[in-house]
Amino acid sequence: MIDWRNGPEYPRAGAWGASGTAARFDVDVTAKHIRDGKIGNPTCCPIALACRAVPGRRYGDLNPMADARVSGGLIHWTHPKTGRHIAVATPPRALRWLHDFDDGRSVSPISFAVTCYGMAET
């Protein structure tokens, strides 16, 4: 598994903001996201659809994950203020859930949190 905080392609924790800052996003995959999701599609899978529905508490009316996609075990999006690419590890439980969905197995709604270090104050 990639350690996204220290991997060569990803900045160290705090690189995008004050050291030790973090933004937590609560992601709720609903029955509608499951119904509308497309198997094997990184931009239209239920997790990507749910990420796009995350409210923008820190950014006014901006949805912080408006262009979210899931690929390679990571959730990717563009920071709404800076335009920087962000990639965080999909939590293991959510990743197993996505594999079940992509394999055509029946899945139920799921909730999980994604934490992005260094994003809270940028």
Mean pLDDT of 76-104: 91
Q: Is the pLDDT of residue 118 over 70?
A: no
Distance linking the first and last C-alpha atoms of the chain: 27
Residues of the chain with pLDDT > 70, as a percent, come to 73
CA distance 20 to 85: 19
**Pick from 89, 91, 92, 86: nearest CA to 122:** 86
Task: Summarize pLDDT for 8-51 with one digit per residue, the tens.
Answer: 333 333 334 444 567 788 899 999 999 999 999 999 999 999 99
Rounded distance between C-alpha atoms, residue 32 and residue 11, angstroms:
34
Give the model's pLDDT for residue 101. Answer: 97
Q: Can you tell me the mean pLDDT for 53-68?
A: 71
Domain boundaries, the chain: 22-117
| Encoded tokens for 58 | 């820190």
Residue 81 has pLDDT above 80, yes or no: no
Question: Which residues does 1 contact at the CB level (< 8 Å), separation at least 6?
Answer: 73, 89
Answer whether residue 60 shows pLDDT above 60.
no
Where b means 16+ CB within 10 Å and e means fewer, 38-58 reads: eeeebeebbbbbbbbbbeeee
